[in-house]
Structure 1
Amino acid sequence: MTTMPEFSPVFMDQLDDLFRWRRDVRHFRREPVPEPVLDELLRIACLAPSVGLSEPWRFVRVDDPQRRQAVRQDFMRCNAEALADRTGPDAQHYARLKLAGLDDAPHHIAVLSHPEPAQGRGLGRGTMPQTTTWSTVMAIHTFWLAATAKGIGVGWVSIIDPDQIMRVLDVEPTLELVAYLCVGYPAEPASTPELERRGWERRAPERREWIQR
């Protein structure tokens, strides 16, 4: 019988620190992360749970400068449209936010998901087919925590048109884009969200309470 390891109080405190320091990073240093470290992050990400053991995620390194530029242009267009939908002080505040690290991050990683993978033989997806996407999000979060533990920052760029990005990447059209990540060493490490530091929003204490039914 395999015995589950016992995690010490020191480890649990460090784990709490890891959760606190896992921030959405938008300011990066430009030196690349060593290839063995990136490979290790991918290996750890694939330890994430998945519905029916389907492992629907696909991690795509975006290294081509033209593809990166096309992603940046799409971000700029979508961001301008989002800004145009806001008015008054809210628009001014939005305009001052740095919402992506596309220019400085040394690594761009697109994370795709297969909505109907053969692996797993459909187990657990009959009534909730979106669980493949959620499984891919679990892999992203696992990647993110592992990166944070190694002092590496991750930023999730969501102000993009997924259909356009899929065309830019020229990948299998049956896949869906779940995340476009900027990865690199953070220029401004912090244990609190940047949006909180910039006065955009605050955490809600009531979210920490159980809803009773």
Structure 2
Amino acid sequence: MQTEPVSAGDFDAAARDAVYRAIFTRRDIRGQFLPCPVPDPVLARLLTAAHHAPSVGFMQPWNFIVIRDAGRKAQIRDLVRQARAEEVRHVADDRQALYRSLKLDGIVEAPVNLCITCDRSRAEGSPLGRWHNPEMDLYSTVCAVQNLWLAARAEGLGLGWVSILDKDALKALLALPAHVTPVAYLCLGYVSDFADRPELESKGWRKRLALDELISAESWAGGGEDALKALIRSA
């Protein structure tokens, strides 16, 4: 039996369990937002957590636009409505009714909206980690989103990622420079509850894939790692 080594800086059991709890109970929140405001000290902690995300070449390509104005939120919500009307045409006929029934944003209900952007010029002249993979600045920005999401869950706040948006229309509305890309539009606030399962799973849009079927050894579709897969299936 393999033993688990102890390394410097290990979390104790309670701290480790808290990290996993945040991961497993994080939800994409759309309809459970409460009207109470998010205190600035809490928002400051969340943004600090996002700013401490890993970034390739330590480029830190992110910026954070905080949106509280009801009129601005309504404009963004209208962009979502337009995008949904376009997207639904590409949904299979037998799933359109389900698609139309889903609440896919909480823009106007959430006390705070955040747009997290990627400044694609920030690492110019520094090819470290980007020479062969220039999209790593975008991936780094997504790491900041995940940091913020898990920190929000630990603070008891819900967060929803709104992806049904025309990127160019959003850039124009938020006056983003040409070299800045919007990566995530987020709705943030306290919520009435965190569901046991993701909403799209509980509503029947998709099922969670079996992890053991997604693992291969040494190459794509390579057989092996049977003991590891058995552990996962038994968890």
Instruction: Place the TM-score, normalised by the shorter chain, in its bin.
Output: over 0.9
Identify the residue that residue 179 of structure 2 maps to in structure 1.
174
Distance 1:94 1:16, change over 3 A: same
Identify the residue that residue 183 of structure 1 maps to in structure 2.
188
- State the distance in 2 between where 1:34 and 1:83 align: 37
Matched, 1:93 2:94: no
The one-letter code of the counterpart of 2:151 is A
Report the 3-state secondary structure (helix = DSSP H, G, I; strand = E; otherwise coil) of the residue aligned with 1:83: helix
1:13-162 mapped onto 2 (5 Å cutoff): 13-27=17-31, 28-118=33-123, 121-162=126-167
- State the distance in 2 between where 1:29 and 1:78 align: 26
- State the distance in 1 between where 2:23 and 2:202 align: 17
Distance 1:117 1:177, change over 3 A: same
1:80-103 per-residue CA deviation (whole Å, 9 max, x = no partner) reads 111233343300111111111112
Contact 2:70 2:108 in 1 (8 A): no
CA positional deviation for 1:200? 1.1
Contact 1:22 1:191 in 2 (8 A): no
The one-letter code of the counterpart of 1:81 is E
Long gaps (5+) in structure 2: 1-6, 220-235
Report the 3-state secondary structure (helix = DSSP H, G, I; strand = E; otherwise coil) of the residue aligned with 1:18: helix
Identify the residue that residue 10 of structure 1 maps to in structure 2.
14
Long gaps (5+) in structure 1: none
- State the distance in 2 between where 1:135 and 1:87 align: 33
1:26-80 per-residue CA deviation (whole Å, 9 max, x = no partner) reads 1211111101110111111111100100000111112333322221111001111
Which has the larger Rg? 2
Matched, 1:199 2:204: yes
CA positional deviation for 1:209? 4.3
TM-score normalised to structure 1 length: 0.92
Distance 1:16 1:78, change over 3 A: same
- State the distance in 1 between where 2:125 and 2:21 align: 34
Report the number of matched residues. 211
Report the 3-state secondary structure (helix = DSSP H, G, I; strand = E; otherwise coil) of the residue aligned with 1:69: helix
TM-score normalised to structure 2 length: 0.84
The one-letter code of the counterpart of 2:42 is V
- State the distance in 2 between where 1:200 and 1:120 align: 44
Distance 1:84 1:10, change over 3 A: same
Distance 1:51 1:168, change over 3 A: same
CA positional deviation for 1:22? 1.0
Kindly, what percent of the aligned residue pairs are identical? Answer: 36
